[in-house]
Structure 1
């Protein structure tokens, strides 16, 4: 009878650890985070390394996430929808840049606030965008010493 009780206790502990891990993984990945926020859009020439769920940061602090990416077949640009946390007001002339966390780090969307006295409204578009920079392209320019595009 003691062996059965031990097996049940160990099994319950394993299930509790698994549930805890799933909750933690959901919080880290942003899957379980609340979607309380307002949408804004931005259009990029290249959004390489960014997917739905990627962080949107301001001064290094996460203020939202990428919620949708679609290809605009008329302009051949990547149209994105960003959800920004409620209470964070962005000037309507803010810039949106795809930044990298380092040589081996992932990409994230960085907001560089502008100086406009007017804030972007829900559903508005941030027009000043800079797409992802290709590390391979930069290395090739350095290696070849080329100014060619």
Structure 2
């Protein structure tokens, strides 16, 4: 009888841990916000290195949306990107959108740098002030080689 009780307790602990991991994974993946109201904005980047569908969109370090679509424009050879932002987050229409890095070993994310306009982007608008990803390898090579000293 003592063995059955121990097995049931261990099984319960394992089941509780599995449920905890599942809930945590759903929160990290953003599945808990699946029903939240959002609106799309588009932007075109020269380089989208390190950014894929599902990458965070942040404003002042706070996640306000995600990248929902990435496609190569065959005419301009730029990365056309669609981001989906929370409906409660209004972005001034003179804001910039930038690819930022979390650090040397961290990944990239999309950052919105707000402007000061009293007018806001509407659903489907395009953010024209963009700054693509800066290649860390290129920067390191310039530093090591001494850069251009013209």
Provide TM-score, normalisation by structure 1.
0.90
Task: Verify: 1:105 aligned to 2:113, yes or no.
Answer: no
CA distance 1:77–1:30, change in 2 (3 Å) = same
For residues 44-98 of structure 1, the C-alpha deviation after alignment (integer angstroms, 9 at most, x for no partner) is 1111111222111111111111111112222211111111111211111210000
Give the Cα–Cα distance (whole angstroms) in 1 for the partners of residues 37 and 20 of structure 2. Answer: 24
Task: Verify: 1:81 aligned to 2:47, yes or no.
Answer: no
Give the Cα–Cα distance (whole angstroms) in 1 for the partners of residues 105 and 13 of structure 2. Answer: 36
Give the Cα–Cα distance (whole angstroms) in 2 for the partners of residues 71 and 3 of structure 1. Answer: 61
Task: Verify: 1:23 aligned to 2:23, yes or no.
Answer: yes
In structure 2, the gaps of 5 or more residues are none
Moved beyond 6 Å, runs of 4+: none
Maintained 8 Å contact 1:53/1:66: yes
Using the TM superposition, give the Cα deviation of residue 32 of structure 1 relative to its aligned residue in structure 2, in angstroms: 3.6
Maintained 8 Å contact 1:30/1:53: no
Using the TM superposition, give the Cα deviation of residue 106 of structure 1 relative to its aligned residue in structure 2, in angstroms: 1.4
What residue in structure 1 maps to residue 14 of structure 2? 14
Give the Cα–Cα distance (whole angstroms) in 2 for the partners of residues 96 and 139 of structure 1. Answer: 24
What residue in structure 1 maps to residue 53 of structure 2? 52
Give the Cα–Cα distance (whole angstroms) in 1 for the partners of residues 131 and 50 of structure 2. Answer: 14
What residue in structure 2 maps to residue 129 of structure 1? 130
Q: Map of 1:23-42 to 2, 5 A cutoff?
A: 23-34=23-34, 35-42=36-43
Using the TM superposition, give the Cα deviation of residue 117 of structure 1 relative to its aligned residue in structure 2, in angstroms: 2.5
Provide TM-score, normalisation by structure 2.
0.90
**Aligned pairs, how many?**
148
Task: Verify: 1:146 aligned to 2:122, yes or no.
Answer: no
